[in-house]
A and B are shown apart, each in its own frame.
Chain A
Amino acid sequence: MTALRAAGFPEREVRARARRGAAEAFPAADAYGTELFGGAPETAGDELDRTRIVPPVFMPRRLEKLIELGREPMPDDVDLSTEIGGLRSALPVYLSAFGSTRAGSGDLSVAASRQAARLGIPMVIGENMVPVHGYRRTGAPSPLLARIRAYAEAGDGGTGGIVVQQSTEDADSEVWNLVYSDPASQELLHSGRLGFELKIGQGAKPGLGGMTVLDAEEAARAARAFAVQDVFGADAGRYLRSATPGTFTEEIVRQQVRFMRNNYPRARVWVKLPPGRDVAAAARTAWRAGADAVTVDGAEGGTGWAPRAFLDQVGLPLAECLRRIGEPEGCLLASGRMWEGTRVVRALALGARAAGLGRAALLAVDEDPGHGLVRLAECLAAEVRLIVSALGKYDVAALSAEDVWRPDAPERVPGRVPETIGERP
């Protein structure tokens, strides 16, 4: 465990799950029989957290499963495996990009890579790794190669996969060309487990590029490729490095996606969107141009460093992004404050195919570099199985909007009020 902190995030709960795994899905066993449980009337959190999961009484799909199994189905009968942006995944979650911040590009990220591979879930490697840390270098492998290697060594060769982001500055370093032409990536390519993600923006700071804080020596090196500013005062010895956000229009997104498919025909193509007000149009453009997955990162998301003004004030919450996108035309991925099963199930019910783990994954490997993320994911998986089976479904892909109730946007239940009468006063 290091000094990694995540204020504004359920850090204590995540660390507990990283230590105890699925046991944390339940109250402590010694409280059984001595403590009374029951929900609080109001659940704190954002709109997505306030959305309730609502099992039905009648469960025709449970009957189907009962017939298939010849016995009453149990939560363990829920199939959590799914296909995420062209990659097979053992769970409806993937490891989000950590960015090039110190927290996200060191040993923790290598530990996270290894555990993501063991779990059989895809992993996204963040932008700006190569301009900041290099690709091939003498001595220790670069963070990008170290993560690819750790993942390849720990994986089963069939499930999961690696998705590499490229930002505008990365384009100068030709990260995708580097990875695509590297003999070290060929096994991933041949097994169909390499993807590239066009990063259009991110939840924590929509409209801005990546930001990191560097010491004087690093800042001097970075100044060639990035804007480096002395915002902390002359004595701080720290500098702000900002990447450009890149310029996008509908045509630029469409053509960049086609360009990726054309130049890297054997790689999956993912697109990551910020929680912009036109997120639905952007997602549609990417899917129609042939993107295998579109990730929407809610304004709650982000492992990286961001200006205070952007942390709470800028961008649409994930729930609103999902509402605007509606029924997705392609594979939709959602990220932002994901760490436990209910939020993942809600996102899936509202259209997402899978949810990205960012801060939670970093905290979990910080708590236990050997098993923290595996245990966190096992706990999450146990919760998802319980919930999906409670909904009378046995396949995560079957989750749909009927499985949730949104108090912030209550839907009229059809048939309850005759249409001729109209709304009640």
Chain B
Amino acid sequence: MHHGDIAGTTVQGPSPLGEHLRTPALRSAMLVQQEALHAAREFLRDHGFVELLPPLMGPVTDPGARGAKPIDVDYYGHPYKLMTSAYLYKQVSLRGFERLFFIAPNVRIEPPETATTGRHLVEFHQIDVEIAGASREEAMETASGLLKHVVTRVCERVPGVLRDLGREPGFFAELLASPFGVLTHAEAVARLRDQGHPQSPDAEIDWVGERTLSEQTARPFFITDYPKGSRGFYDRENAHEPGTLRNFDLIAHGGYGELVSGSERESDYATMIARMRESAENPAKYDWYLRNVKDGIPFGSGFGMGVERLVRFLTGLDAVWKVSAYPKLPGVVAP
């Protein structure tokens, strides 16, 4: 079914839910997703991680979502939010768990314009990983190891499903054969500008820019060192290069774009308060979290890997709604 004019472009959206659930492509995608989640748990457990089940709501939620709005809920008369991501809980959990992960549902009222990216859903899931004592580089190592393991296992366990979807094993050959490259944000900006794309040097790589870079490579790569102002207050600022953050995105090849976002975490109380102000936040509303920061959260790093984006990449389907059983496109009210 077509959804009229979203963000100035006609977006091909899902059929009514009953029909969507019966499509063969969705069935194949769910088989791939099941193997991907199984492989992710396998990898993380083998590396000493403990799986926790994430909270669904709280007095505040992760603010680091560009232009998206959390859903308000009435919790015994208190205005609570559904989790846009359980990041705050994940970091605080380092107090009791040195290596932990969630497979977490998230909900974000995304700006309708993101319906055209093929990568945004209002309801989605993340494999949320947090590691005490780890540097950014160790978190990047974990993220690439996780992706390689998932790709390997999915190719081994459901080769026929991938073939039916038109996904050739050769697509993953370079991913499995060599380590992922690393570009700094400044290098990514320069590369895009050289190609005539007007990428802002102090903002996120925009959707078009990300897609462009993703299409020009044969294996995933990292973008590191995003500028302050493009990310939330918890990505740690580089003490040696003020203005840049100790963070990273993992960008898939083939035009599939960002799969993972992560960073070294800020855990210093005073720095965090100043960073909250820099991102237009009111520290008072983070009261419970800041009390934990004040008491001392272990230094660490972590990341979130988008489940639907991962499955879209594995299956080669062109939009995340095709790999969600119950898709809700930005700007479209769906059951």
Contact = CB atoms under 8 A, between A and B. Distances in A.
B110 A181 contact: yes
A55 to B, nearest CB: 43
Interface size grouping (class) on chain B? 20 to 34
B272 to A, nearest CB: 13
Residue in B68, B280, B285, B331 with the greatest tally of chain A CB atoms within 10 Å: B280
Contacts of B66: 262-263
Interface in A264-302: 264-266, 289-290
A142 interface: no
B277 A186 contact: no
Contacts of A189: 113
B113 A252 contact: no
A251 interface: yes
Given A171-B280, A177-B67, A258 B110 contact: no
Interface string B267-298: 00000001001111110010000000000000
A328 B31 CA distance: 60
A394 interface: no
A322 interface: no
B7 interface: yes
A172 B285 contact: yes
B112 to A, nearest CB: 6
A183 B331 contact: yes
B282 A172 contact: yes
A400 interface: no
B230 A258 contact: yes
Contact of B206 (A249, A264, A265): A265
A380 interface: no
A181 B228 CA distance: 23
B282 to A, nearest CB: 5
B70 interface: yes
Interface string B54-91: 00000000000011111000000000000000000000
Interface string A177-190: 11011010010011
B324 to A, nearest CB: 19
Interface residues of A, number: 38
Interface stretch (B33-41, B162-170, B197-205): B197-205
Nearest to A253: B278
Contacts of B274: 249, 251-252
Given A168-B282, A258-B228, A263 B202 contact: no
Given A190-B8, A252-B274, A265-B203, A181 B282 contact: no
At the interface, is chain A mostly helix, strand, loop or mixed?
A: helix
A247 interface: yes
Nearest to B273: A247
Residue in B7, B8, B200, B202 with the greatest tally of chain A CB atoms within 10 Å: B202
A280 B269 CA distance: 31
A169 B67 contact: no
B7 A259 contact: no
A323 to B, nearest CB: 30
Nearest to B81: A174
Contacts of B228: 255, 258
Contacts of B159: none
Interface string A137-156: 00000000000000000000
A357 interface: no
Nearest to A266: B113
Contacts of B279: 255-256, 259
Contacts of A260: 280
A290 B202 contact: yes
Contacts of B331: 183, 186
A234 B105 CA distance: 50
Interface string B204-216: 1010000000000
A198 interface: yes
A262 B203 contact: yes
Nearest to B111: A181
B227 interface: yes
Nearest to B242: A251
B229 interface: yes
A258 B277 contact: no
A259 B280 contact: yes
B109 interface: yes
Interface in B14-72: 66-70
Contacts of B69: 174, 177-178, 180-181
Contact of A255 (B113, B204, B278, B282): B278
Contact of A181 (B112, B206, B229, B281): B112
Given A181-B67, A255-B279, A186 B7 contact: yes
Given A186-B7, A190-B8, A258-B228, A198 B68 contact: no
B166 to A, nearest CB: 34
Interface string A236-249: 00000000101111
A251 B278 contact: yes
Nearest to B277: A252
A186 B112 contact: yes
A198 B112 CA distance: 23
A61 interface: no
Given A181-B69, A183-B331, A261 B200 contact: yes
Given A255-B279, A261-B202, 14 more contacts: A169-B282, A177-B69, A180-B69, A181-B109, A181-B110, A181-B112, A186-B7, A186-B331, A246-B277, A254-B229, A255-B228, A257-B229, A259-B229, A261-B200
Ordered nearest first, which 4 A-B pairs have the shortest CB separation? A258-B229, A255-B278, A177-B69, A262-B203
Interface of A: 166, 168-169, 171-172, 174, 176-178, 180-181, 183, 186, 189-190, 198, 244, 246-249, 251-252, 254-266, 289-290
28 contacts: A166-B280, A171-B280, A171-B281, A171-B282, A177-B69, A180-B111, A181-B110, A181-B111, A181-B112, A183-B112, A186-B7, A186-B113, A198-B280, A249-B277, A252-B277, A252-B278, A255-B278, A255-B279, A258-B202, A258-B227, A261-B202, A262-B202, A263-B67, A264-B67, A265-B206, A266-B113, A289-B202, A289-B229
